[in-house]
Amino acid sequence: MIIQVKDLKKNYGNLQVLKGITTQVEEREVVCVIGPSGSGKSTFLRCLNQLEEMTSGQIIMNGHDLSDPKVDINKVREDVGMVFQRFNLFPHKTVLENVMLAPIKVRKTAQEEARKHGLALLKKVGLEDKADVYPDRLSGGQMQRVAIARALAMNPKVMLFDEPTSALDPELVGEVLAVMKNLATEGMTMIVVTHEMGFAREVGDRVIFMDQGVIMEEGKPEEVFENPTNERLRSFLGKVM
């Protein structure tokens, strides 16, 4: 198990957003998280990489207990790559510079090595020819692929994706999903919040349905999509499929 989550709760003031999430993720597993808007999916991911502090419960991430006050959060975060709905690339840096930045700043990787690795990653996401352009010259799909390359530059053990294709024009969704599928095939451990049910079904090893701050159903994609036992899941799938 690379991630273990036990009775994770998160409140914002009086609002209880996560009401006791318990699950675990194995190395090389691809877990897709689905569920209606406001159900706590983003909050869950943000707790996993400590962008949000949990209210109670336990998260063990790659051997680090996040509830331990002595844990080095920055160290933990280095192992967890995250890709958001919005690309947030640095506009005044080239594509390659965007990818090289974290390894140089955080890991103190030598310029030349970061450059080589960066170019290899751009090749992996099909964008080696865009290395020297600025983000404003890219399509949304290309930006998102750069964002993935940038996250991979730190050699993460786990990749978290929060609706990585939701802000894209429909014709650009496929190229991003293809890169993610590739990554999954190479054995990356991934948690993917997505509304792309085709991706969840094809690439996911497991699907988690979240609703109102709890995991309502969890299982293999076939089980979850073909035999949804939960009424709320059935109604959700009816709307999105």
Task: List the strands of the sheet with 80-83, edge to edge.
Answer: 80-83, 158-162, 189-193, 30-34, 206-211, 214-219
Residue with smaller CB distance to Mg ion, 118 or 204: 204
Angle, helices 95-105 vs 140-152, to 10°: value is 20
CB 148 within 8 A of CB 180: yes
**Where is 5: in which H helix or E strand?**
strand 3-12
Residue with smaller CB distance to ligand ADP, 51 or 101: 51
Q: Tell me the backbone φ, ψ of residue 57, rounded to 5 degrees.
A: 105, -165
Kindly state the smallest distance separating residue 168's Cβ from ligand ADP, in Å: 17
Residue with smaller CB distance to ligand ADP, 15 or 170: 15
**Contact region for Mg ion (CB under 5 A) — 39-47, 120-128, 140-148, 173-181?**
39-47
Angle, helices 140-152 vs 170-185, to 10°: value is 20
Kindly state the smallest distance separating residue 33's Cβ from ligand ADP, in Å: 8
Angle, helices 140-152 vs 111-124, to 10°: value is 130
39 binds, among Mg ion, ligand ADP, none (CB under 5 to 8 A by kind): ligand ADP
Residue with smaller CB distance to ligand ADP, 12 or 90: 12
What is the sign, positive or negative, of the torsion defined by CA atoms of 61, 185, 29, 209? positive
Kindly state the smallest distance separating residue 12's Cβ from ligand ADP, in Å: 3
In the list 3, 33, 42, 95, the residue contacting Mg ion (rule: CB under 5 A) is: 42
Helix (H, G, I), strand (E, B), or coil: what is residue 61?
Answer: strand
Residue with smaller CB distance to ligand ADP, 37 or 227: 37
Q: DSSP per residue over 88-136, as a string? A: ---TTS-HHHHHHHHHHHTS---HHHHHHHHHHHHHHTT-GGGTTS-GG
Which residue in the shown chain puts its C-beta closest to Mg ion? 42
Kindly state the smallest distance separating residue 85's Cβ from ligand ADP, in Å: 10
**Residue 165 sits in the site that holds Mg ion (CB under 5 A):** no
Residue with smaller CB distance to ligand ADP, 99 or 208: 208
**Contact region for Mg ion (CB under 5 A) — 41-49, 75-83, 98-106, 179-187?**
41-49
**Contact region for Mg ion (CB under 5 A) — 6-14, 38-46, 95-103, 208-216?**
38-46
Interaction site with ligand ADP (CB under 6 A)? 12, 15, 17, 35, 37-43
Kindly state the smallest distance separating residue 106's Cβ from ligand ADP, in Å: 25
CA distance 182 to 126: 11
